[in-house]
């Protein structure tokens, strides 16, 4: 397929890119791993592409004064895995299986989050980490939590004149364990069910944590009912299994040719149990 005609502008700075977004039907182009295939299928037809791929100011991972990690939006999957963010077990689990080597070396963190594919792995990981995103426009900057950022399939809270510039992760800590497990479509590699879990064991031995799922519904989501059921338990297999039963509570589960609704809902429970158990094993 051939995309519809469009104008192309290569931004020389972030300010230049923001100015280009201020008028007309423009889309930001970063790695191109998500947008270009949609354009070829004519599922997206922007009037102008604003290429920010050369903006060094949006690349790299650095530690903030409060200990958090700031991940530039143009940081690739491969660069993220080769950074201090590799401290998180769930990222070590998820990233090596995203796409193929070319995708991991070209696709960007910011692009993945902005694209908001319902079966993407990274949104679930960032939800479980309680990450934040930084959005910039010509009128200023705002920081929003990843939880609530995804509004629907391929839809986020980014405004037309904004660019996602940074993802902020909590500071690495040694008293936490995390893991990501997924049931993937063998043809596409996308998650039919993907579960990210972060757990903490308190001074009294009780477990608290955060759990997020992708591939199950219209958007990646925090499984609050699982978290509530897990909090205050001893982390035993029975406690984990009981908590995992709440994996799809309050959600409309997708069904398709790859996995019907009942199967996907059951696998959500199974993989939630596995993710929590794997995270506990890393404490």
| Per-residue pLDDT tens digits for 229-264 | 999 999 999 999 999 999 999 999 999 999 999 999
According to the model, what pLDDT value does residue 236 have? 96
CATH 3.40.50.620 fits 179-281, yes or no: no
CATH numeric code, 56-169: 3.30.465.10
Contact 197, 178 (CB under 8 A): yes
Residue 39 has a pLDDT of: 87
Full-model pTM: 0.94
Structure confidence by residue, pLDDT tens digits, 55-78: 999 999 999 999 999 999 999 999
Question: How far is residue 27 from each of residues 6, 122, 123, 137, 199, measured CA to CA in Å?
Answer: 10, 21, 21, 14, 38
| Tokens encoding 70 | 């700031």
Residue 120, helix vs strand vs coil: coil
User: According to the model, what pLDDT value does residue 105 have?
Assistant: 93
Tell me the H-state helices in the chain.
Answer: 14-21, 35-40, 77-81, 89-94, 101-106, 109-115, 121-128, 224-230, 237-244, 261-281
The pLDDT value given to residue 173: 83
**Residues 202-225, mean pLDDT to the nearest whole number:** 93
Each domain of the chain, given as residue ranges in start order, spans 7-51, 56-169, 179-281
Using DSSP bridges, classify how beta strands 48-51 and 61-63 pair: parallel, antiparallel or unpaired. unpaired
Q: How far apart are CA 59 and CA 65, in angstroms?
A: 18
Instruction: Tell me the per-residue pLDDT of 108-152, one tens digit each, with 9 for 90 and over.
Output: 999 999 999 999 999 999 999 999 999 999 999 999 999 999 999
Average pLDDT over residues 205-209: 87
Q: What is the pLDDT of residue 260?
A: 97
* Model confidence band, residue 187 (pLDDT cutoffs 50, 70, 90): confident
**Virtual torsion, Cα 276, 277, 281, 283, nearest 10 deg:** 30
CATH 3.30.870.10 fits 7-51, yes or no: no
Asked if the domains at 56-169 and 179-281 fall in one CATH topology, the answer is: no
């Amino acid at each position: 397929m051939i995309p519809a005609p469009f104008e192309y502008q290569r931004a020389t700075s972030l300010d230049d890119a923001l100015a280009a977004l201020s008028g007309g039907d423009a889309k930001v182009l970063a790695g191109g791993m998500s947008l270009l295939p949609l354009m070829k299928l004519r599922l997206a037809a922007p009037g102008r592409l604003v290429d920010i791929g050369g903006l060094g100011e949006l690349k790299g991972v650095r530690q903030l004064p409060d200990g958090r990690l700031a991940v530039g939006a143009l940081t690739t999957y491969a660069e993220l895995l080769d950074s201090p963010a590799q401290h998180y077990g769930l990222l070590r689990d998820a990233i090596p299986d995203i796409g193929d080597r070319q995708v991991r070396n070209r696709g960007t963190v910011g692009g993945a989050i902005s694209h908001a594919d319902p079966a993407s792995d990274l949104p679930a990981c960032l939800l479980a980490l309680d990450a934040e995103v930084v959005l910039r426009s010509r009128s200023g900057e705002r920081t929003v939590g990843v939880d609530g950022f995804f509004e629907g399939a391929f839809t986020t809270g980014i405004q037309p004149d904004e660019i996602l510039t940074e993802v902020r992760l909590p500071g690495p800590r040694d008293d936490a364990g995390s893991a990501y497990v997924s049931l993937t479509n063998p043809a596409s590699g996308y998650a039919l069910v993907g579960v990210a879990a972060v757990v903490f064991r308190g001074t009294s031995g009780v477990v608290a944590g955060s759990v997020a799922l992708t591939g199950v519904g219209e958007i990646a989501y925090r499984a609050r009912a699982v978290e509530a059921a897990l909090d205050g338990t001893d982390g035993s297999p029975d406690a984990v299994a009981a908590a995992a039963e709440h994996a799809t509570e309050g959600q409309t589960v997708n069904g398709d040719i790859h996995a019907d609704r009942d199967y996907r809902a059951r696998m959500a429970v199974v993989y939630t149990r596995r993710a929590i158990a794997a995270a506990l094993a890393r404490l």
